Amino acid sequence: MEPIIRFENVHFTYPEEEQESLRGIDLSITEGSFVAVLGHNGSGKSTLAKHMNAILVPTEGRVLVRGMDSSDEEHLLDIRRTVGMVFQNPDNQIVANVVEDDVAFAPENLGIPSRQIRERVDAALRQVGMFELRMHAPHLLSGGQKQRVAIAGILAMEPKVLVLDEPTAMLDPHGREEVIQTVTRLCREKGMTVVLITHHMEECIGADRLIVMSNGSIVADGSPAQVFSQVELMEREGLDVPETTRVLHELGLPTDVMDPETCAERIAAKLRGSSAASEYPMNGR
Ligand SMILES: Nc1ncnc2c1ncn2[C@@H]1O[C@H](COP(=O)(O)OP(=O)(O)OP(=O)(O)O)[C@@H](O)[C@H]1O
Ligand SMILES: [Mg+2]
């Protein structure tokens, strides 16, 4: 199947800058997948995200969204409709005084007939669990609720891909969980393609794929368990790994699992093995 987004040897340098911010990115994103992106400050995550809906276009190489070249002006609107972006600060994304008007704003701008807008807004609010609060004032909501309204505003445009650039950075732990659960559900139940950029490694655990960026390049790419198991690489990049992975690593056990139960079984099996060995000291001699 043709990937929904494909980067082909993408290089990007900001105007007036000497250093490249993307250094030859090759990346294919499968429709319906949940891709998380980690990397320390300045590694190029936001620059990568902005190439996904043609906010930025490559200096060299190309980005294809459903086969449409992002540097082709003719495809700009279509690309923006296909790939919706959610940013860090929900307050900057709120434009109206009532939740449902806020969600209706983007589809109204797309010139969609009002009956259809009504349906889309209601559907989008239900998808993020904010339908009950549709008549509320957005500025009185919690951070997590505001961010869910922002996501609904994007969903009302019926995109195929949701790119979220650190959507939880300004939220408390509860709000973070609300947002991650919402996007996970959108992917698993609605088939939405999700690209989640984050600084929090625990938000990546449920993803299908985890990409690590460093200095404008992709330095790791695989399932979260595969990527986290590269403990030295993650440490070099200044990134955390799950506690389970760290414990297995320190015990010299394979680090390809993350859930606490399997991790505990592995440790128990090792301990059983070593106690069996000490009960029968002559074994194997
Ligand atoms: N508007 C800009 N003009 C010039 N250089 C920029 C601009 N935005 C980012 N850069 C540079 O591009 C590189 C990558 O930045 P980018 O914002 O993509 O990183 P990031 O991984 O998103 O970082 P953060 O975790 O801080 O959000 C950095 O060296 C940064 O200084
Ligand atoms: Mg960024």
Query: Which tens digit of pLDDT belongs to each residue from 83-130?
Result: 999 999 989 889 999 999 999 998 898 888 999 999 999 999 999 999
pLDDT at 219 over 50: yes
**How many Å apart are CA 217 and CA 222, to the nearest integer?**
15
- Is position 246 within any domain? no
Sheet holding 217-222, edge to edge: 83-86, 161-165, 193-197, 34-38, 209-214, 217-222
List the residue whose alpha carbon is closest to atom 4 of ligand 1. Answer: 14
Claim to verify: residue 72 and residue 13 sit in the same structural domain = yes
pLDDT at 231 over 60: yes
pLDDT at 273: 84
pLDDT digits (tens, 9 = 90+) for 52-67: 999 999 999 999 999 9
Claim to verify: residue 74 and residue 169 sit in the same structural domain = yes
Claim to verify: residue 181 and residue 202 sit in the same structural domain = yes
Average pLDDT, the chain: 93
**How many Å apart are CA 148 and CA 184, to the nearest integer?**
13
List the residue whose alpha carbon is closest to atom 16 of ligand 1. Answer: 44
- Is position 180 within any domain? yes
- Distance from the CA of 22 to the center of ligand 1, in angstroms? 10
pLDDT at 243 over 60: yes
Token pair belonging to 160: 């195929």
Using pLDDT thresholds of 50, 70 and 90, give the confidence band for residue 256: confident
Of 19, 22, 43, the one to substitute when testing ligand 1's pocket (max ligand atoms within 8 A of C-beta) is 43
pLDDT at 279 over 90: no
- Is position 95 within any domain? yes
Claim to verify: residue 72 and residue 193 sit in the same structural domain = yes
Q: The domain containing residue 108 runs over which residues?
A: 91-158
Claim to verify: residue 151 and residue 166 sit in the same structural domain = no
Claim to verify: residue 135 and residue 1 sit in the same structural domain = no
Interior/surface letters 126-163, b for 16+ CB within 10 angstroms, e for the rest: ebbebbebbebebeebebbbbbbbbbbbbbbbebbbbb
Domains contained in the chain, number: 2
pLDDT at 274: 74
Please give the number of the atom of ligand 1 that sits closest to the Cα of 40: 25
Lowest mean pLDDT among 37-41, 55-59, 200-204, 256-260: 256-260
Please give the number of the atom of ligand 1 that sits closest to the Cα of 166: 27
Q: What is the DSSP letter of 11?
A: E
